[in-house]
Structure 1
Amino acid sequence: MLAQSSSAQAPRQHAPRYAPPCARPACAPRPAPRRPRVGARPAPVARATAAASSSLGEAAPPLQQQQQQQQLSPVAPPLEPPACDAADAADAADASPLAVTVRPASGLLELRQVARLRAEAYYADDRSRFAESFKRQFASQEVDSLQQRTAPRGGRAQQCDCLVAVDAGGAVVGCIDVRVPQAATGLPASGVPQGEARGAYILNVVVDVPVRGRGVGRRLMRAAMARAVRVWGAERLFTHVEADNDVASALYRGCGFEQHSGSGAFEGAAQLGRLVLLVAEGSEVDAAGDGSSGGDGAAPAA
């Protein structure tokens, strides 16, 4: 009998192949940015780190962590929050007011500054590795959108009026949008109830972090309201607030807003996170007010 070769005593073993993590399908839902709110502060780094560790699993192996992290997409859709969501809570007290000029945004450079301010505000709580990518994508889209929304069309008024708060050094430190009434544009202003052809909608208030709490948000609100009445002929002004956001509600009341009759009650646990429609009468707005009281600058140009 022939002796069996020693090399054939055991079957040949192959090294296991490395399986790369699956790419996230392009059609999968993308994470949306969290909407900032008045009075909210960015979460401490330690808390954000702990939350991230919890979502990925403390004891997950490196490959599993890599696969889970790749579920985040570097692209997220833009978000338009109600007015004053990114304005500082201390604006209600206007402590140590900052000298600013409130006027319409002028030129591409200022629109880029506006877009960057909004990107920083909307993704303030994002601690993912894609945060900067989100911000760049958002800012790029917002610049393009602002250029379209603020341009007159077919002999009619622009759909959106973007105002900026500029400090003594010429830097944009805050911004706000006014959706122009249907009577001026020929198109319904989103956010305004049906039948309100002379209603304007105020949104997208953002104040730069270093100057929050110095009255910039309040002056942006007053300037936007005055311009909506004086320039665009608004008879009523609308905005939304979260039902459980007492700080924002107080700021709006200080600017003359009241709850719209058809928006329901503020109180109750069921109202948490719900948006409530607010309204201010144009006849009660100081149309000469420019949001720059105390020598902060000139009134906005028509």
Structure 2
Amino acid sequence: MNAQPNFPDLILEPLVRAALSEDLGSYGDLTTRTVIPAGTRYGACIVAREAGIASGMQLAAIAFRLVDPALAFRLHVPDGTPFKAGAVLAEISGDAASILTGERVALNFAGRLCAIATMTAGFVAETQGTRTRITCTRKTTPGLRIVEKQAVLHGGGFNHRFSLSDAILIKDNHIAAAGGIRPVLQAVKARASHMVRVEIEVDRLDQLAEVLDEGGADVVLLDNMDTPTLREAVAMTDGRLVLEASGNMRLERIAEVAATGVDYISVGALTHSAGTLDLGLDF
């Protein structure tokens, strides 16, 4: 997996704080306040009910800390690390009411992000022996893009744009509205900063030939092409541009697409269809 430095807690705290505020509502944890005697101390473990790749453990730690800075959080499985079913990912000890109050938000983040990392690792495994990298898209949960994209890194994948301002990505609708491939590439060459990378989407080989002839792009997104066409696109380009295959990239197809020689395969499902890994908090 990709060993990645954590984001500073300061960047992630607003996400966790918003989730806690949503969960606590107007009056806090009514159940815990009603049934747990004040001063009760306990220990708990975050336990994996199924195997996967760790991600979101930093957010889980932040959740418990925001609820109660006195809670002790001991991490056993760092983000980006594989684990088996039954593994103890972390231990939390201290005030029982505080642990119970932070439980759901911590598990929601960790379960969702572990699922993304685990799915990503499955796609990456299909590219072994090739130079192809698996990358995510902007098809993320609103407000959670930064952590979902980090989960992709934890699973061994790579990141595409974080926002519209990161790079120029000319899609089919841009091409249609601007009047064609040559006009959009000419506009880029006339107006874009030399510091900005440019990617353009094509879905036919004649469009790829036009991009190669006009120049002005760094990356070509090969959209919804079958495998023989992808192979021909790689031959046509001959290393002059970075190639990214996209569109309906199912797990069972990844190995054959990677074998064509494309540089990247973008997979929206990594963040829009990953689900949640089964984690629990055991006292």
TM over 0.5: no
As a proportion of its length, which structure holds more helix? 2
Larger radius of gyration: 1
TM norm structure 2: 0.23
TM norm structure 1: 0.22
